[in-house]
Each structure stands twice: as C-alpha cells, then as structure tokens.
Chain A
Amino acid sequence: MDRLAFDIAHLLAGGLVLVSFMMLYQDRLYALLNIFAVHALVLAASVGWQAHIQDAPHLYVTAGIALVFKGLVIPMALHRMIQRLGIHREIETVIGVGPTMLAGMGLVALSVAVMLQVTEGADPIAREDLAFALAVVLLGLLMMVTRRNAVSQVVGFMSLENGLVLAATGARGMPLVVEISVAFSILIAFIVIGIFLFRIRERFDTVDVQALDRHRGERQ
C-alpha cells in the first residue's frame, strides 16, 4: 500500500511537470487556457492524494480551490475576456519553441539534480514532490520570460504558483498551506482579472506587453 501511495503521488507530480511542458509549446491563447485548466486539475488530484495519504483533511480545501478556482473559474473568465476584448489569439514568443523546450529540459534536469542532492534526509515523497515542484516553478518562470503577451505571462505565473502549492503540500504537516493558497488566489483574482487587463485594454489597443514598452518613461 505504501509503495502504491508513493507511486501515485509520483505519477501525479510528474504529470504536473509534463503539463507544464505542454504549455511551453502552445501558440494559441485558447489552447493555452485549456492546458492550464488541465494543469490545475492535475494539481488538484495531486493535492487531494496528498491529503489522503497524509491524513490531512485541510488539504482538501486547497485541492478544492485548485479545482474550482484555477481549473474552472479563472480559465473561463480569461476565455470570456479574450473574446470580449478581442485580444489577438496567437501568442508571440520571444524565442522559438525548439530552444524553449531545450531550456525547459535543462531546467528540469537542474532542479532534479539540485533538490535530490540536498534533501537526502527527507522522506521520499516530499523529496520527489520538491524536485518536481521546483521544475514546475522554473518552467513557469521560463514561460513568463519567453512570452510577450500579458495573458500568457499571467498563465505562466499561475503555473508557477501551482508548483509552489505542490511544494507546500509535499512538505508534510506544513501549517498555513490553505491560507497561502487563498492569499495567492486573491493575488491573482484581485489584480489580474479585476483590474489590470481591463485597464490595459481600456488604455491600449493590445495587451501585448511590447506595446507597453513603447510608453516607457525617460522620453526626451
């Protein structure tokens, strides 16, 4: 049973890394949002499984937030926003898909090498979860720097945050996990959806961050 519990946790955490990779090569916003919803579903399953094997019922709340808020509400809201605002559906990337994927593989190798080395004493599930979580965090960062448009940067940030939730639930008995996931959800909901994109849309004809760069200060 212990072996099975470990294998399932491993499968789900590894699945999260895989879905992060899938996000890297999407070139359409709608597809990206769908993949993000899958990311959130895998996270919810992973957190739910952790709640089950750690016998920590409060983690079900975190899983529920991941499922409902990140798996359904946010992708649907972003979907509607893209439609309503008529944002370009294609994602402009800074570098091509090939180099991005290679960089992603490098980052995953790096995080596994670093984390497995420094956590030798820790319990195996937490170890693997941390290694995968760091990989998801780094892939999220990679996505934020290789994408030009605001919506995909936000999606990158949310996937990064999913990695953090995975790390927090993997650390057995960590307090405040639920509070932290709520704080993150507030951060995302409040700023991104409510205010920024609408304001950016209101003032600019695009949510392409490059267009914002043209308005830099320091003009003569």
Chain B
Amino acid sequence: MTGPGDFAIRAILLIPLVAALLLAVLPGYRLTARLNVLATALTFGAALALLLGGRPAPGAYLLVDDLNIVFIALGTLVGFTTSLFSASYIQHELDSGRLTAGYLRFYHAMYQALMFGMNLALLANNIGLMWVAIELATLTTVLMVGIYRTHEALEAAWKYFILGSVGIALALFGTILVYMAAHPVVGQGQDAMVWSILMRHAAGFDPSLLNLAFIFLLLGYGTKVGLAPLHAWLPDAHAEGPTPISAVLSGLLLNVALYAVLRFKLLLAANPGALAPGPLMVTMGLVSLVFAAFMLYRRRDIKRLFAYSSIEHMGIIAFAFGMGGPLANFAGLLHMVLHSLTKSAIFFGVGHVAQVKGTQKMADIGGLTVSHPWLGWGLVIGVVAIAGLPPLGIFMSEFLIVTSTFARQPLLAIPLVLGLLVALGALFLRLNEVAFGPVRGSVAPAKASYVPMYLHLALVLTAGIYLPPPLVEWFRHVAAMLG
C-alpha cells in the first residue's frame, strides 16, 4: 500500500526529523537558516500533496482524515513562514550577541524537532503515540523558551515546564482511562488505543469511565491550549522566548493541543450515555475569554499583550466548538485558522519592533507608523484584524460565533460580546500608544523581512472578503463531522 499519500505522510514526518539531525551538526548561520527554511518548505509541499492527492487508509499508527488535514496544512504553512521570519530575526540576535553559534545550532535543531512532534501528534492514529508526540513538542518548546538564559527566560521556562508536565501527566491519566473504557469492548492490546477503531466502538464503552477520562484530558490538554485557569505559563513563555517561538506557540502548538481535545470530544459524542462535553468547553472558553480581555488592560510588555490575546482567542475557539452544531463548528474552525495566521503575523511584526527598539516595554515604543511605516502599519492591520473588525477575516468568524450563540443561547452571548468588546478596547488603547503619537525609542532602520507578515495578513484579508466555495464546502464537511 505505497501510494502517493503514504509517501507524503512519510515525507511530513521524516523531513523535519532528518533536518533536525542535520541542523544539530552543521555549522554556519547562512547555511543552517536556509536549510531550516528549505525543510519547512518541503514539509509544507508534502502537506499540500496530501491535501490534494489521495489519502491512504488508516494504519495502526498513522491516520489522515478531513479533520486533521486542516491542522496539518495550517501547521506546516505557519511553520514555513515562521522559518522565513526566523532567518532574519536570528541574524539580528547573532549580531547583537544575544545568541551564540552553538545555541543557534541547538535552536534550529529544536525548531525542526518541534515540527516533527507536532506533525506526529496530528497524524497519530493512536492515543498513546499522540500523547508521546505532544510531550516531545512541549519538551522542545520548553528548551527554546529558556534559550536566552536570562532570569526571566529561566523563570518562564521553569513555570512552563512544571505546568506543562502536570498537564501532560493528567492527560496521560485520561488516556489510560480511555484504554480502560475501551478494552472490555475492543479487546486487549494495541487495538484499544487506535482512533479509527475506538470511534467505531465508542457507543459500547462504559460512559462513567469515559466521562472521568474526558475531564482529565480536558484539564491536561487544556493546560496546553492555555485555557484559564490553567494558562499561567502562557504569557511568560511567549514573552521571554525568541519571537519565532512565540509565533509558533500561538499559531501552532495551542492548536495541536486543541485538536487532541476535539478528538476526545468526538469520542464522547459517539457514546450516547456519556456526558455532553460541550458545556465544559463553553465554560472554560468563556472564562478564558473574559478573564484575558480584562487582563489585556494591565499589560506593559508588548509580547505579553499578544500572549493574553491568544488566551482570549483560544477561549473563543473552545467556546465555539463547545457550542457545537454545524454553524458554530464552522465558525470555530475558521476562527482557529485565521487566528493562527493573524497572531503569527503580529508576532513577526512585534519581533522586529522589539529588535529595532531594543525593548518590549510598550512605554518605550511609540510612533511606529512614522518611524517604521512598514512595521507600524503591518502591526496596525494585524491588531485591527485580531480585534475582529471588518473587512478582515476574523470579523466574519466572530460574527458567525456571536450570531449562532444569539440564536441558540442568548444568555451566553452576553458575556461573549462583553469579552470581545473589552478586548477590542484594550487592544486599541495599546495600539494607539505604540503605533501613533510621538516617536519614542530608536529610529534606526529595521533589517526585517516583511514577506511573511504581509503574506499572512493578505490571506486573512482575502478570507474576510471572499472565501473560495471549495474551502467553504470542505469546512462545512469537517464541521458536520465534529457534530
């Protein structure tokens, strides 16, 4: 059974793995940065081939279906553009002496290892394998967050490590409980951990065991999604690590954890006796949204500001998937894709801003649209997009979420809209300070690559104006699958 699909799957997994090994030993900044870009580009190509070409039948370990292919295509795309941004970002870090050649090798190797871990987690057809892959992805990001070795970076990495490990441990307990629920029906051994087999037999599982398992899984993987009250690691990890990692964390890793939650939600939905997972996700989503929206006002650090905005948006997405139904699921998927693109674009901009100004404190940054028009206006567009204003894409997905909530649960729409408006106010307050007004901080020209940022923003704008019908059809299909 070696069709083109199998080849593509192998390429998606093997390219990052081989690249990680190569990058760990190869010297020289130019060569390794290019190799990093090349590897992510090839992985993205393989993902496209998988998307457009035929899909192989699910094996014992790997699975491709309509749900995870969305995440894979999005993940490899953001991985590719982030590696482009990373190349110009890292050069500045080397010039300014914040990173040495040895650490750079380590950074590139970890970047590819992270890509491998995420792709494996998305492709895994086995709940144990998925858990191991998410652990690997966590491990690599912990190491990258601590790479600058400053007080703050170490604290952030430590906090991330402790909270991330606890989350991972709870998720494993949940995974074991799922196995316990499955094995009387499916039989002992490998089969009781394989997604495609679990889904077929889910109706016969013991519902109370499955409920308990889901609570552990939601708390465990929810920690990694950054849902309140388990979000404490997220702002620190985003603020203190290298900015490409902030972009990848917000744009990809949170989605991967969310994907795991969604898979288990599907499993529960297939069992008539199990509790409805929706209300739990709705509650956690709303709490995250409202909490993060208010926290946005007190931020002084620009990367932390957008980290809290990520918590807010993951809350919105969890809320949408928790509501369920074709419309809310569709909006949740769309919102997830657009949030990844927008937030990573914002971090691309913020990374260069922080390098040019030599600080992340918003009080020391001002008048960006005058001093660095390309960066400044990019940031303005990004914030307008993330705040959910038309004509950019996030307006549409938020609009869909709000209207479907009004139609079905009007009371829930009140905190939802409140959170959105509060967050919008906070973002514009800060944006005004940073992008307009008198110029503060250095006016040295930025050596930046604007392509990744504007590419993402263009995609988000296009999505807001025109969604191609095949894409809509495909999302609709996935939304129906999510139930």
Binding site for B on A (CB under 8 A): 114-115, 117-119, 121-122, 126, 130, 133-134, 137, 141, 144, 150, 153, 157, 160-161, 164, 167-168, 171-176, 179-180, 183, 186-187, 190-191, 195-196, 199-200, 202-204, 209, 212-213, 215-218, 220
Measured in the bound complex, the distance between the Cα atoms of B154 and A187 in whole Å is 17
Are B173's CB and A190's CB within 8 A?
Answer: no
Report A67 CB to chain B, min CB distance, Å: 21
On whether A218 and B155 interact (CB within 8 A), knowing A119-B180, A122-B180, A174-B176, the answer reads no
Which B residues contact A (CB, under 8 angstroms)? 126, 128-129, 131-132, 135-136, 139, 142-143, 146, 149-152, 154-158, 161-162, 165-166, 169-170, 172-173, 176-177, 179-180, 183-184, 188-190, 192-193, 206, 208-209, 211-212, 236, 239-240, 299-301, 304
A196 CA to B192 CA in the complex, in Å? 37
* B129 A176 Cβ-Cβ under 8 A: yes
Interface contact B161-A191, CB-CB below 8 Å = yes
- Given A137-B173, A141-B166; A175-B139 close (CB under 8 Å): no
Provide the residues of chain B in CB contact with A141, threshold 8 Å. 166
State the majority secondary structure of interface residues on B: helix
Question: A82 vs B135: C-alpha distance in the bound complex, in angstroms?
Answer: 28
Contact A200 B173, beta carbon cutoff 8 Å: no
Q: Are A114 and B139 in contact (CB under 8 A)?
A: no
Which of A157, A187, A199 is most buried by chain B, counting CB atoms within 10 A of its CB? A187
Decide: A218 near B304, CB < 8 A? Known: A171-B179, A171-B183: yes
Nearest CB in chain A: distance from B237 CB, A: 11
Residues of A within 8 A of B212 (CB): 114-115, 118
Contacting pair A209 B183 (CB below 8 A)? no
Least Cβ–Cβ distance between A88 and chain B, in angstroms: 18
Residues of B close to A171: CB separation below 8 A: 176, 179-180, 183
Give B300's nearest chain A residue, CB to CB: A218
Q: Are A220 and B139 in contact (CB under 8 A)?
A: no
A114 to B260, CA, bound (A): 24
B116 to chain A, nearest CB (A): 14
Q: A157-B165, A157-B166, A212-B151 are in contact. Are A164 and B142 (CB under 8 A)?
A: no
Q: B183 touching A173 by the CB < 8 A rule?
A: yes
Number of A-B pairs, beta carbon distance below 8 Å? 131
Chain B residues with Cβ below 8 Å from A126 are 180
Which residues of the partner chain B approach A150 to less than 8 Å between Cβ atoms?
A: 158
Kindly list chain B residues whose C-beta atoms are within 8 Å of the C-beta of A160.
166, 169
List of 10 A-B pairs having minimum Cβ-Cβ separation, nearest first: A173-B188, A215-B151, A176-B128, A118-B208, A212-B155, A175-B190, A167-B176, A183-B132, A171-B180, A173-B189
In the complex, which residue of chain A has the Cβ closest to the Cβ of B189? Answer: A173
Quick one: which of A121, A157, A168 contacts B176, CB cutoff 8 A?
A168
| Chain B residue nearest in CB terms to A121 | B206
Besides A144-B166, A157-B165, A168-B176, 6 more A-B contacts (Cβ < 8 Å) are A122-B184, A133-B173, A134-B173, A160-B169, A173-B189, A212-B151
Partner of A196 from the list B157, B166, B304 (CB cut-off 8 Å) is: B157
Residue of A nearest to B138 (CB): A187
Contacts of A199 in B (CB 8 A): 146, 149, 154
A117 to chain B: closest residue by CB: B208
Q: Decide if B166 touches A200 in the complex (CB within 8 Å).
A: no
Q: B126's closest neighbor in chain A, by CB?
A: A176
Which B residue sits closest to A130, measured CB to CB?
A: B180
Cβ contact of B128, chosen from A144, A180, A204, A216, cutoff 8 A: A180
Contact of B188 with A172 in the complex, beta carbons under 8 Å = yes
Please measure, in the bound complex, the distance between the C-alpha atom of A21 and the C-alpha atom of B151, giving whole angstroms: 34
Q: A122 contacts which chain B residues (CB < 8 A)?
A: 180, 184, 206, 209
Nearest CB on B from A143, distance (A): 12
Contact B189 A191 (CB under 8 A): no
Quick check: B209 and A119 within 8 Å, CB to CB?
yes
- List 29 A-B residue pairs with CB atoms under 8 Å apart, sorted by A's residue number: A119-B180, A121-B184, A122-B180, A133-B173, A144-B162, A153-B162, A164-B169, A168-B176, A171-B183, A172-B183, A174-B176, A175-B128, A176-B128, A180-B172, A183-B135, A187-B165, A196-B154, A196-B157, A199-B154, A203-B149, A204-B154, A212-B151, A212-B154, A212-B155, A213-B155, A217-B156, A217-B239, A217-B304, A218-B304
